[in-house]
Amino acid sequence: MSALSVALTAAVGALAGAAARPVVFARSVPAPTVARSSCPHCGSAVLDRRLPFLPFSGRCPACSEKIGPRPLAPEAAAAIAFAVVAAGGASGWFAAAQYWVAACGVALALIDLAVQRLPDILTLPACGGTLILLSAAAVAGESGSLGRAAAAAAVLTIVFLLIALTGAMGLGDVKFAPAIGALLGWSSWTILFWGAAAGFVVGAVSEVARMVAGRARRTHVSFGPYMVIGALAVSVAAACPPS
């Protein structure tokens, strides 16, 4: 794909990130709270139900306190994710599935980093949308296997559930697993293995780096971002045409 096409795709990703900003703000609340629409500092309404919007500054328009994602964080993260997918060269419905996981994954990752949870309102559409797009890819005759994707989604979900039962992972990660498993399993079982393993490797390296820097978390580790990064990196690498 040309540099111009990648740049244009990154711009689309930035728009997706801007659309995700109010969702990240609304859902970055600890359980059992479902969502918020007002500033946690002054109580003034931040999100208009008719036209949800959050300032790019990430500050409340009324009191100027920090209320949401860091300035341009969702936009930049989504732009980078979309550019990486575009550079991978995948096309058709499978590429659409990659973009869908990237868009949902950016929002989920930012929420997970903020409050260590992956809300159902995003994990369920992520899984459903991925399976629908891969089904469309199968109908269109694209290279891959829908049956394997479905089986991989089930396998990864079971594995994550077993890990969650030990307390080492949250149920939100389990609910997001079908999307990751399906996307990776579409290509091959090998890609599923490496894509899932990549999340753990990225997470381990990141947490070790945080320990060295003296910034290790004392509470639950946010695994969602690592899931997304590992899965997309391996999925994109597998889709890259040989040189």
Residues 6+ apart with CB under 8 A from 11: 79
Please write the tens of the pLDDT for every residue from 113-139: 999 999 999 999 999 999 999 999 999
Contacts of 97 (CB under 8 A, 6+ apart): 129, 130, 133, 134, 137, 182, 183, 186
For 58-97, how does the pLDDT look when each residue is reduced to its tens digit (9 = 90+)?
A: 888 888 888 888 888 999 999 999 999 999 988 899 999 9
Q: Which two tokens stand for residue 165?
A: 């039962």
Beta bridge partners of 66: 59
> What's the confidence (pLDDT) of residue 216?
62
The pLDDT value recorded for residue 213 is 77
Per-residue pLDDT at 78: 97
CA distance 95 to 172: 25
Cβ-contact 121, 111 below 8 angstroms: no
> Which parts of the chain have pLDDT scores under 50?
none
Residue 20 has what pLDDT? 92
* 88 Cβ contact list (under 8 Å, min separation 6): 98, 235, 236, 237, 239, 240
d(CA 60, CA 212): 34
The reported pTM is 0.92
SS3 assignment, position 171: helix
Predicted local distance difference test score (pLDDT) of residue 219: 61
Nearest to 85 by CA among 73, 96, 93: 96
What's the pLDDT score for residue 68?
A: 80
pLDDT of 218 reads: 55
- Quote the tokens at residue 145: 């296997």
Whether the CB-CB separation of 202 and 230 falls below 8 Å is answered with yes
Contact 185, 153 (CB under 8 A): yes
Say if CB 80 and CB 13 are below 8 A apart: yes
